[in-house]
Structure 1
Amino acid sequence: MDRRTFSAAVLVCAASALVSARALAIPPAQVKARNVVLAHGLFADGSCWLDVIARLQAAGMNCTAVQNPLTTLSEAADSVTRVLDRQDGPTVLVAHSFAGMIITETGVHQNVSALVYVAARAPDAGEDYPALAKNYPTPPASAGIVFDGDEGRLSESAFLHDFAGDLPEARARTLYAVQEPFHKALLAGKTAHAAWRSKPSYYAVSTEDRTINPDLQRFMAKRMSAKTIEVKSSHLSLISHPDEISRLILEAARPSA
């Protein structure tokens, strides 16, 4: 693809996102929170939220994607807390995948008005999440985790088929190239708080998920009494179905009826 063709493709994608986002816009009087903080999970970085961010910004939201260190749960939580400290008012805190651990811990922050979980972990305070997950069939992606010393990542095959299975292969390969390795110590962390017990919560279940069992997602959503939607998607619904995820976040930003 030459430079002119690539530039044209980028403009088309941007215009498409803008049209979708305009359809999502809601009047300022109907919004409780104008800020959105988004946390990424394993095998990813903050760029995984770009399609959702484009829609939220066009709908008038102030968005910040956190670049989690993926070293320990406490360090990841600190990275989110620092961003929450900078927000100038009510904030919707959003997580994908493992980052559900992080927002469950940090969502007690005074600026957080609502929580949104996107195919995400949602443990209770002090809960052993791996033990909880063992109550459900092990998803295929788990077998694709490989370690280089203390750093873990997904193999290319598992990433393309089990993590990003409903994305065009070219897009999935691009995401695979930028996946951020995680440290083994991260997986040992347990949350001291369960913010969903005190904050309004929303959950997007990925029904075709091969990374976190969909029935486990449904259990966690039901346990937290979350407003729940189901998306026929791989684990990466935030990329394959950004309109649905953006609408759920905007719903979380509205004042309660």
Structure 2
Amino acid sequence: MTMFWGMLQAQEKMQLYDVLPNTLDTADLKNNIPEFYKYIPENITKDKVFLILPGGGYTHHAMDHEGHQVALRLKTLGYCAFVLKYRIPAKRQQVDKRIAPIQDAQRAFVVMQQEIYKLKLQNLKFGVIGFSAGGHLASTLSTHFDTNYLPELSGGYSLRPDFSVLVYPVISMEDGVTHNGSKQSLIGPDVKEEDVVRFSNEKNIKENTPPAFLIHAKDDKVVSIENSYRYTTALDRYGIKNYLFTFELGGHGFGMNNKMESKDWFREMINWIEQL
């Protein structure tokens, strides 16, 4: 299985940057370099395109069950999908570690559009799906699109997703709600209140925030379901379409398949997205 995934990744891998931005001159990047993979079906039958952001607490990436497996399932269903291994926030490597992940996500969102438009497809919708800390990054992409974190991005491509799918997401940076590991990695260790507000994405929802489908287990002890409750409540305040798919059991990190319950959130998500 490892060899299969390695071959698949090598065949699909794309270059995200010519020059990596926001990098200290003295940085030893080691393995903390963005990686970008595309999955294009031989027969494209769907008009939705997905950017997939795996979780990992902003310290690592769950690239298999929250990345490549998701893309492969979407591809099998006729959807185009892309998987991003974004940079881990690292003070010794980046000028401003807080924005390194969203820089990569915005860049990937633009490159994804460029790649798909080469195929001459019409009436497309480009969305994002993120898991855990990748769900935080997906909600950042969905609420910070008025801020261009890469000024060199040009060409008229949109930074706003048409929809978002947030799977057991970190949403808030507020104590008692957030995942402390993600918070410390992204905006710590000396946390400033303005950064708590800036990256608590339930506080950044506005009239044109894209619709969202969220998935969360009520017994999640790693990332409280309160994160999803806050996001959907804020979307409701603006009348933005959303749906929260809940499990009673499942904990955290189950990916597409919650072995504790028989409900299939992925199928429900696809049905919901297709109604947008």
Q: TM-score range by the shorter chain?
A: 0.5 to 0.7
Counterpart Cα distance in 2 of 1:196 and 1:244? 30
Please give the residue correspondences for 1:139-218 in structure 2 after superposition, counting only pairs within 5 Å. 184=188, 189=195, 190-191=198-199, 193-194=204-205, 198-218=209-229
Matched, 1:51 2:69: yes
- Alpha carbons of structure 1 residues 229 and 52: separation in structure 2 relative to 1, 3 Å: same
Counterpart Cα distance in 2 of 1:195 and 1:90? 20
- Alpha carbons of structure 1 residues 212 and 185: separation in structure 2 relative to 1, 3 Å: same
State the Cα distance separating 1:100 from its structure 2 match: 3.2
TM-score, normalised with respect to structure 1: 0.58
Greater helix share, structure number = 1
Task: Identify unmatched segments of 5+ residues in structure 1.
Answer: 1-5, 11-26, 123-128, 146-150, 153-181
Once the two structures are superposed, what CA deviation does each residue of 1:200-234 show, in whole Å capped at 9, x if it has no partner? Answer: 11110122211111234333333323211113312
TM-score, normalised with respect to structure 2: 0.55
Partner SS for 1:235: coil
Q: Which has the higher contact order (CA 8 A, sep 6+)?
A: 1
Residue equivalent to 1:234: 251
1:40 to 54, 58, 73: 54
1:84 to 109, 130, 135: 109
Counterpart Cα distance in 1 of 2:257 and 2:191? 26
Residue equivalent to 1:250: 270
Residue equivalent to 1:100: 135
Counterpart Cα distance in 1 of 2:88 and 2:190? 6
Residue equivalent to 1:3: none
- Alpha carbons of structure 1 residues 45 and 183: separation in structure 2 relative to 1, 3 Å: farther
- Alpha carbons of structure 1 residues 105 and 195: separation in structure 2 relative to 1, 3 Å: farther
Task: Identify unmatched segments of 5+ residues in structure 2.
Answer: 5-43, 90-96, 118-123, 146-157, 237-241
Conservation of the 8 A alpha-carbon contact between 2:47 and 2:79: no
Partner SS for 1:65: strand
Conservation of the 8 A alpha-carbon contact between 1:70 and 1:186: no
Counterpart Cα distance in 2 of 1:64 and 1:196? 27
Partner SS for 1:130: coil
Conservation of the 8 A alpha-carbon contact between 2:166 and 2:213: yes
State the Cα distance separating 1:187 from its structure 2 match: 7.3
Matched, 1:119 2:162: no
**Number of aligned residues:** 187
State the Cα distance separating 1:70 from its structure 2 match: 2.0
Counterpart Cα distance in 2 of 1:39 and 1:73? 17
- Alpha carbons of structure 1 residues 251 and 221: separation in structure 2 relative to 1, 3 Å: same
Name segments (4+ residues, structure 1) moved above 6 Å: 185-188
Counterpart Cα distance in 2 of 1:195 and 1:98? 22
Instruction: Please report the RMSD computed on the Cα atoms of aligned residues, expressed in angstroms.
Output: 3.8
Partner SS for 2:173: helix
Conservation of the 8 A alpha-carbon contact between 1:36 and 1:92: yes
Counterpart Cα distance in 2 of 1:80 and 1:227? 23
Counterpart Cα distance in 1 of 2:275 and 2:243? 14
Counterpart Cα distance in 1 of 2:191 and 2:208? 23
